[in-house]
């Protein structure tokens, strides 16, 4: 299982380079199924979720070859339409292959994606889009079977700007007959990255980053392309908080400041000094910082994936902060663990009230999911004494060498 042990109190100093974005590479990997031509993905982050998605592709017949950080992918030999249930249960983002499989083969069978600790996470909006494009969907015995003789373009209005639903419908639409319009589409940067990748393959997608996306269906797509996804904005935010919570100073390289504007604004509001340039951010923490209120919202609002990390930071702020989690129904599992470390937090439904304390104390705590795990590491960096974080496999799903990067910045941290 693995544990992280961190002794708090060290200021982080130095510079860190951000890896490729987990939430960009996962849909791009799924989109490879649409192409018949081999392609290469560069600077792919070494993340467990990437390894899982690669296994999903291989289970469908895609040949994948890792060469250093370049992933060579040959999707010409796809021979089955069923994703193994074990892989679906391991990572719900495996459902992102549905759109591409329907687009290319007109058929896909997956086991119903389990919810996870942060919420039920249904895919009803994904299926609504597929149905609008002419797909017959059957849900039985815990499986979802989708079949479409030939997908046709449609107008789809998403009740909620779901990231996954937007991505899945985009992928299904690139070879449908006619034009598909997605309204109330998600506007996350990862959607723009997927659009850029699909267009490089020869698709015709426009509007990503706004709330209406238009896809004109093509006969076939696929070119010998090489592609590199955007840097990870949530890893960027996590390191910004690491500098802020330890009162250190950190240069964050290979990042896109526009992708973390909401986080920059909130940290500045709390009193953190932040300078941004085109591809880097300099963060200088202060000995004390002020409480701030946070509402998580779809992009460009404050990202839910940074909510746990900010809660650790605000546990030590001067004053009382209110955090409202509007995206997921159960994303406060880190509250109990932070309270074990001395945080003063009260949760009522989707709102947590954090009364800043003067210090946190090291404790044995448990990561419940990826970002909660990151939040506990951040709290440990600032806590008095030693913190042991269990459930480290959650962290390995979405952070490339978090412990190594923190240690290179002066943190007293290791894995056992």
State the residue number with the nearest CB to ligand EPZ: 164
The reply to whether 116 belongs to the active site is yes
Residues β-bridged to residue 364: 388
- Binding to ligand EPZ by residue 201, rule CB under 6 A? no
Query: Which residue number, 162 or 363, has a Cβ lying nearer to ligand EPZ?
Result: 162
* Cβ atoms 299, 189 nearer than 8 A: yes
**Burial profile 297-312: b = 16 or more Cβ within 10 angstroms, e = fewer:** ebbeebbbbbbbbbbb
Residues β-bridged to residue 225: none
**Least distance from ligand EPZ to the Cβ atom of residue 245, Å:** 19
- Binding to ligand EPZ by residue 398, rule CB under 6 A? yes
CA torsion 312→318→324→325, rounded to 10°? -10
Query: Which residue number, 312 or 363, has a Cβ lying nearer to ligand EPZ?
Result: 312
Query: Which residue number, 53 or 338, has a Cβ lying nearer to ligand EPZ?
Result: 53
326 sits in the region (left: phi over 0; alpha: psi -120 to 50; else beta) called alpha
**Least distance from ligand EPZ to the Cβ atom of residue 224, Å:** 27
Query: Which H helix or E strand runs over 188?
Result: none
- Binding to ligand EPZ by residue 169, rule CB under 6 A? no
- Binding to ligand EPZ by residue 125, rule CB under 6 A? yes
CA distances from 10 to 237, 382, 396, 407 (A): 19, 7, 23, 10
**Least distance from ligand EPZ to the Cβ atom of residue 306, Å:** 9
- Binding to ligand EPZ by residue 126, rule CB under 6 A? yes
- Binding to ligand EPZ by residue 160, rule CB under 6 A? yes
- Tell me which residue of 254, 271, 103 sits closest to 174, measured CA to CA: 103
CA distances from 230 to 152, 261, 264 (A): 31, 16, 18
Residues 37-66 contacting ligand EPZ, CB under 6 A: none
- Write down the catalytic residue from 54, 64, 70, 116: 116
Query: Which residue number, 302 or 313, has a Cβ lying nearer to ligand EPZ?
Result: 302
Site map for ligand EPZ, 176-195, x if CB under 6 A?
----------x---------
CA torsion 373→374→379→381, rounded to 10°? 120
**Least distance from ligand EPZ to the Cβ atom of residue 142, Å:** 17
Query: Which residue number, 187 or 405, has a Cβ lying nearer to ligand EPZ?
Result: 187
**Least distance from ligand EPZ to the Cβ atom of residue 362, Å:** 25
Indicate which single residue of 2, 77, 122, 178 sits in contact with ligand EPZ (rule: CB under 6 A): 122
- The phi and psi torsions of 122 (rounded to 5 degrees) equal -70, 170
- Binding to ligand EPZ by residue 321, rule CB under 6 A? no
- Binding to ligand EPZ by residue 163, rule CB under 6 A? yes
- Binding to ligand EPZ by residue 93, rule CB under 6 A? yes
Query: Which residue number, 306 or 317, has a Cβ lying nearer to ligand EPZ?
Result: 306
DSSP 5: E
- Binding to ligand EPZ by residue 21, rule CB under 6 A? no
Indicate which single residue of 180, 184, 246, 304 sits in contact with ligand EPZ (rule: CB under 6 A): 304
- Binding to ligand EPZ by residue 164, rule CB under 6 A? yes
- Binding to ligand EPZ by residue 371, rule CB under 6 A? yes
* Cβ atoms 372, 394 nearer than 8 A: yes
Query: Which residue number, 104 or 394, has a Cβ lying nearer to ligand EPZ?
Result: 394
- Tell me which residue of 165, 160, 191, 184 sits closest to 327, measured CA to CA: 160
- Binding to ligand EPZ by residue 228, rule CB under 6 A? no
Alpha-carbon gap, residue 204 to 195, rounded angstroms: 9
CA distances from 48 to 8, 124, 210, 265, 395 (A): 27, 26, 31, 31, 9
Structure token digits, residue 68: 């250093």
Q: Which residues bind ligand EPZ (CB under 6 A)?
A: 22-23, 26, 93, 119-126, 160, 162-165, 186, 304-305, 327-328, 370-371, 398
Residues annotated catalytic, as ranges: 116
């Amino acid at each position: 299982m693995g544990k992280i042990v961190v002794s708090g109190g060290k200021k982080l100093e130095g510079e860190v380079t951000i890896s490729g974005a987990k939430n960009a590479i996962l849909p791009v990997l799924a989109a490879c199924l649409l192409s018949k031509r081999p392609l290469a993905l560069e600077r792919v982050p070494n993340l467990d979720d990437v390894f899982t998605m690669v296994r999903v592709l291989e289970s469908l017949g895609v040949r994948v070859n890792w060469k250093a950080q370049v992933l060579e992918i040959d999707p010409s030999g796809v021979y089955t339409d069923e994703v193994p249930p074990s892989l679906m249960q391991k990572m719900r983002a495996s459902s992102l292959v549905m759109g591409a499989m329907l687009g290319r083969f007109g058929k896909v069978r997956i086991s119903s994606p389990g919810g996870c600790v942060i919420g039920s996470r249904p895919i009803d909006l994904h299926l609504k889009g597929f149905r609008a494009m002419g797909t017959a969907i059957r849900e039985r015995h815990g499986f979802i079977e989708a079949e479409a003789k030939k997908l046709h373009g449609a107008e789809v209005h998403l009740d909620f700007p779901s990231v996954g639903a937007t991505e899945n419908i985009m992928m299904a639409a690139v070879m449908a007959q006619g034009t598909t319009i997605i309204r109330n589409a998600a506007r996350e940067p990862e959607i723009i990255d997927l659009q850029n990748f699909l267009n490089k393959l020869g698709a015709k997608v426009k509007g990503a980053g706004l709330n209406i996306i238009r896809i004109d269906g093509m006969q076939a797509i696929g070119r010998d392309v090489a592609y590199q996804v955007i840097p990870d904005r949530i890893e960027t935010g996590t390191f910004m908080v690491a500098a802020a919570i330890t009162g250190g100073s950190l240069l964050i390289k290979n990042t896109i400041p526009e992708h973390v504007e909401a986080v920059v604004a909130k940290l500045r509001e709390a009193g953190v000094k932040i300078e941004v340039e085109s591809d880097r951010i300099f963060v200088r923490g202060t000995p004390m910082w002020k409480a701030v209120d946070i509402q998580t919202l779809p992009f460009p609002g404050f990202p839910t994936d940074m909510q746990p990390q900010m809660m650790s930071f605000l546990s030590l702020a001067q004053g009382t902060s209110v955090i409202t989690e509007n995206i997921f129904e159960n994303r406060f599992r880190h509250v109990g663990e932070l309270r074990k470390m001395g945080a003063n937090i009260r949760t009522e439904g989707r709102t947590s009230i954090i009364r800043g304390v003067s210090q946190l104390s090291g404790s044995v705590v448990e990561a419940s999911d990826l970002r909660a795990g990151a939040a506990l590491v951040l709290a440990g960096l600032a806590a008095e004494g030693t913190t042991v974080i269990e459930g480290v496999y959650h962290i390995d799903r979405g952070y490339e060498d978090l412990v190594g990067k923190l240690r290179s910045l002066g943190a007293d941290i290791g894995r056992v």
